[in-house]
Amino acid sequence: MCLLNLLLTAFALAAAPAFADPPPPLDWRGQVRAFNAEHCKHPAWGTSHSECDYRLAKGHGRDRQGRVR
């Protein structure tokens, strides 16, 4: 049984990638906002509409004493 566990562990380690994906950039929100401002110009689902939805949701959560980030 111990040999089986050792072999399974060895195969799992051999199949695992050597390097993990790099961590996301620290300012990923800023990059998303910049991309959105440049590419999403439609008024129904563009930046201003998204910001309005966010403000409404945040106010709604605050009124109900919920936790909104």
Q: Provide the residue range defining the domain that includes 49.
A: 27-69
Q: Does 21 map to a domain?
A: no
Is residue 47 a part of any domain in this protein? yes
Q: Would residue 65 be called left, alpha or beta, if left means φ above 0 and alpha means ψ between -120 and 50 degrees?
A: left
* Residue bearing the bigger pLDDT, 69 or 4: 4
- Mean pLDDT in residue range 24-52: 80
6 belongs to a structural domain: no
Residue 18's pLDDT band, with cuts at 50, 70 and 90, is low
In a domain, 50, yes or no: yes
Position 57 in a domain: yes
Indicate the pLDDT class of residue 33, thresholds 50, 70 and 90.
Answer: confident
Q: How far apart are CA 59 and CA 34, in angstroms?
A: 24
pTM assigned to the model: 0.42
Total domains in the chain come to 1
Q: Give the pLDDT of residue 68.
A: 61
In a domain, 64, yes or no: yes
Q: Which residues of 29-58 are buried (b: 16+ CB within 10 A; e: fewer)?
A: eeeeeeeeeeeeeeeeeebeeeeeeeeeee
